[in-house]
Structure 1
Amino acid sequence: MSTVAALGAAVTVLAQDIKVTPTVPPGAPQLLNLVNYLSWIVMLAGIAALIYAGGKFGWERFHGGAIESPKIILGALVGGIIATGAGGIMNAVVTGGT
């Protein structure tokens, strides 16, 4: 019975809550401000790429020739999806998916 008692005591110790008090690291507001600026730049770049691709698509339709603008549109959309989901992806990586 001593093995069962030792195992029960070990499980009791492992099941206890660990109290963690998170603190803000120094320079966190400046880092968050920088990340917000970068997210705005990425969003504006995606919008500019879509506008450029739409104009190029019209030009290619009007003048004929090879149509390359759907690749640009697809690239801008996939990049936007990745950029939008980056926060969630990194949160899942850091927290282990929980």
Structure 2
Amino acid sequence: MSTILCALHETVLAQVGNPTPEAPPLADKLLQIGRYFTWLVQLSGITAITYGGGRFAWEKWNGGSLQSPKMVAGAMAGGAVATSAGTIMNSVI
């Protein structure tokens, strides 16, 4: 039995070799789209926090109900999730 396994190894498995990893086709385009998406998420987070801060000042000045702190907290929580998405995916995979 061991002679059959040895012959199988020499004929079939020894021809497979050690493949070298290479990037899949269009990988550079996918990475570029990922960088654009990251830039868009950061820009939208900065815009949301700026808008929430301005609205907070407006509500404070007019004496209205303060709903903007929830907006600022939501934008900050969303930014934390968006920023850590890559780390979370790396740990899952």
**Residue 88 (structure 1) shift:** 0.5
Paired residues, what number? 76
Equivalent in the alignment of 1:66: 65
Q: Name the larger-Rg structure.
A: 2
Q: After TM superposition, list the pairs within 5 Å mapping 1:19-58 onto structure 2.
A: 21-58=20-57
1 CA distance for matches of 2:60 and 2:86? 38
Larger proportion of helix: 2
Residue 80 of structure 1 aligns to which amino acid in structure 2? G
Q: Could you report, residue by residue, the CA deviation over 1:10-63 in whole angstroms, capped at 9, with x for unpaired residues?
A: xxxxxxxxx663220101000000000000000000000011001000000000
Taking only aligned residues, the RMSD between alpha carbons, in angstroms, comes to 1.1
Question: Where in structure 1 do 4 or more consecutive aligned residues deviate above 3 Å?
Answer: none
Q: TM-score, normalised by structure 1?
A: 0.74
TM-score (norm 2): 0.78
Identity %: 49
Q: Which runs of 5+ in 2 are unaligned?
A: 1-17
